[in-house]
Amino acid sequence: MPRSRRKHSRSRSRSRSYSRSRSRSTRSQSRHRDVKRRRHDSSDAYSKYSNERHQRSRLHERGTSAERRYKRSHHRRSPSSDHHREKRRHHHHHHNRHHSRHRRRQRRSYSSQSSRAPSVEDDGDGHLIYRQGDILQDRYNILATLGEGTFGKVVKVKDLTNDNIMALKIIKNVDKYREAAKLEINVLEKLAEKDPDSKHLCVKMLDWFDYHGHMCIAFEMLGLSVFDFLKDNNYQPYTLEQVRHISYQLCYSVKFLHDNRLTHTDLKPENILFVNSDYDVIYNSKRFDPFQKKEVKRIKNTDVRLIDFGSATFDHEHHSTIVSTRHYRAPEVILELGWAQPCDVWSIGCIMFELYLGITLFQTHDNREHLAMMERILGPIPYRMARKTKVKYFYHGKLDWDEKNSAGRYVRDNCKPLMRYINEEDEDHKQLFDLISRMLDYEPSSRITLAEALTHPFFDKIPLHQTLFSRERSHSISR
Binding residues for ATP: 169
Q: Cβ neighbours of residue 219 under 8 Å, at least 6 residues apart?
A: 166, 167, 168, 169, 203, 204, 205, 206, 307
Handedness of CA 407, 412, 418, 422 (dihedral sign): negative
Cα(414)–Cα(426) distance, rounded to whole angstroms? 24
Task: Identify the H or E element spanning 210.
Answer: strand 205-211
Amino acid at 110: Y
> In this structure, are residues 389 and 335 in contact, taking their beta carbons and an 8 Å threshold?
yes
* Entry field: residues in the chain: 479
Task: Say whether 197 is catalytic.
Answer: no
Binding-site positions: 169
> In this structure, are residues 222 and 203 in contact, taking their beta carbons and an 8 Å threshold?
yes
Residue-by-residue DSSP string for 20-58: HHHHHHHHHHHHHHHHHHHHHHHHHHHHHHHHHHHHHHH
Distances (CA, A) of 406 to 361, 362, 381, 392, 416: 20, 17, 22, 21, 17
Cα(350)–Cα(284) distance, rounded to whole angstroms? 25
Amino acid at 23: S
Cα(171)–Cα(174) distance, rounded to whole angstroms? 8
> In this structure, are residues 310 and 151 in contact, taking their beta carbons and an 8 Å threshold?
yes
Distances (CA, A) of 465 to 117, 302, 456, 469, 471: 48, 13, 19, 11, 16
Q: Cβ neighbours of residue 69 under 8 Å, at least 6 residues apart?
A: 131
Cα(184)–Cα(271) distance, rounded to whole angstroms? 14
Q: Cβ neighbours of residue 463 under 8 Å, at least 6 residues apart?
A: none
| Through-space distance between the first and last CA atoms of the chain, rounded to whole angstroms | 87
Phi, psi at 135, each rounded to 5°? -120, 120
Q: Cβ neighbours of residue 297 under 8 Å, at least 6 residues apart?
A: 229, 232, 233, 236, 279, 280, 281
162 - beta bridge partners?
none
Which residue out of 123, 195, 266, 308 is catalytically annotated?
266
Active site members: 266
